[in-house]
Structure 1
Amino acid sequence: MWKDRQALQCLISVLLAFLTSASLSPGQPKYMVLVPSLLYTESPEKICFHLYDLNETVTVRASLQSSWGTRSLSNEFVVDKDYFHCDSFTLPRISASNEKVSLSVHIKAETHEFNKKSMVLVKNQESVVFVQTDRPVYKPGQSVKFRVVSMDKNLYPLNELFPLAYIEDPKTNRIMQWRDINTEHGLKQLSFSLSSEPIQGSYKIVIVKKSGVKTEHSFTVEEFVLPKFEVQVKVPKVITVQDEK
């Protein structure tokens, strides 16, 4: 119970609320709509309705108006008594990285009608993606093993489809590529083998998202050998039993 109460307090702290009535005196109907002030596309969001002290039947609608049209956030419903309910909705990806849209709430009864609008921010959700290789430097002919890690905005593992991944050599030649890579539980492991005589220098792994955003990671290919060295020991010409060293 205490954990649920804490979660509700945290939720309300980041929500945008509408509250109205003719007055807040007892017996007057009161309406509250809770929606995040920042909405992410392609990610489940919630809208919650709290109606109480109702003295007649009301019809409730909520929608978003933006440059890409009007979108209903909840099915229209009719209530005649105290009511609390949450609906989930998902917004499609928008052309801009973020956009301010109008949130509209319409409540209609026989004796009165209530309309409220407020602005909320809609942003495209971008996953956090990075690439890891099993080592920073490779020799010709070795196998390059790497993994793609994808997480959501809360750093939870994310199953994501990447249309393209490829390898560039130091002269920007594309020497290897993969299509339609799916991460499972946020992870995808790939590998390829270098030729026996590759171009030496800095190589690049490029992962392309659906949005066109690229994530890059570099590694080096070089013909390295163990360093050579010699040890010279100089000793005296004569050592006697009386010498301590």
Structure 2
Amino acid sequence: MGRPGIQMWTWKLCVFLSWMCVGQAVAGPQYMVAIPAILESGAETKFCASLLEPNETLEMSVTLMSKEANTTLMKKTYCQDFHTCTEFKVPLVQDEVVQNFVVEVRGDTFYSKEVRKVKIKVYRAMTFIQTDKPIYLPGQTVQFRVITLDSQLRPVNQLVSV
């Protein structure tokens, strides 16, 4: 504890700066949008959006942007607190891609735009082969079964050539 005066000023500065940050955050409307970072191609998924303490009528738009197309997932106008979850179908892609997830909140005196990245991944069906015992002796008949499951662990309804 060699320099208590410096420690005291450092402490006061930290408290003052955090008070300024909290003061700015509380002054205007607050919003939050939650979505998984990795989405499955072609699957149904959802995101949730919340808006707290709007001091004016605000329009919130949520868009999934790629090089090929922009998909507006939600565009609503609110003048009071709300919380909503919206389902949408993830675009079909052939290979793993990264797209921009854009949230824009706009009013007469308030504007905010956040851009985050989400990965759209293609999950292939997986095939499992199971035998009736772990070790066979020469000449024994091997009994086995084969099952193909999708990413939700549901059986895939397709024929496989032997």
- TM norm. shorter chain > 0.5: yes
Could you tell me how far 1:151 is from its partner in structure 2?
A: 4.5
Which residue pairs with 2:128 in the alignment? 130
2:121 counterpart letter in structure 1 = K
Give matches, 1:51-200, under 5 Å: 51-74=51-74, 76-96=75-95, 98-132=96-130, 146-152=145-151, 156-162=152-158, 164-167=159-162
Point out the structure with max Rg over C-alpha.
Answer: 1
Determine the C-alpha separation between the residues in 1 that align with 2:68 and 2:41. Answer: 13
Query: 1:40·1:123 contact (CA, 8 Å) conserved in 2?
Result: yes
The alpha-carbon distance between structure 1 residues 65 and 29, as it changes in their structure 2 partners (threshold 3 A), is same
Q: Which has the higher strand share?
A: 1
Determine the C-alpha separation between the residues in 2 that align with 1:92 and 1:160. Answer: 21
Listed one character per residue, the Cα deviations across residues 172-193 of structure 1 (whole Å, up to 9, x for unaligned) are xxxxxxxxxxxxxxxxxxxxxx
Could you tell me how far 1:22 is from its partner in structure 2?
A: 9.3
Query: 2:59·2:77 contact (CA, 8 Å) conserved in 1?
Result: yes
The alpha-carbon distance between structure 1 residues 67 and 130, as it changes in their structure 2 partners (threshold 3 A), is farther
Could you tell me how far 1:55 is from its partner in structure 2?
A: 0.7
Which residue pairs with 1:24 in the alignment? 25
Which residue pairs with 1:214 in the alignment? none
Q: Which has the higher contact order (CA 8 A, sep 6+)?
A: 2
Determine the C-alpha separation between the residues in 2 that align with 1:57 and 1:73. Answer: 20
Which residue pairs with 2:50 in the alignment? 50
Q: Which has the higher helix share?
A: 2
TM-score of the pair, normalised by structure 1: 0.48
Listed one character per residue, the Cα deviations across residues 71-120 of structure 1 (whole Å, up to 9, x for unaligned) are 2223x111111111111112132121x11111111111122322221212
* Structure 1 residues not aligned, in runs of 5+: 1-20, 168-245
Q: Percent identity?
A: 21
Number of corresponding residues: 136
TM-score of the pair, normalised by structure 2: 0.70
The alpha-carbon distance between structure 1 residues 71 and 125, as it changes in their structure 2 partners (threshold 3 A), is farther
CA RMSD of aligned residues (A): 2.9
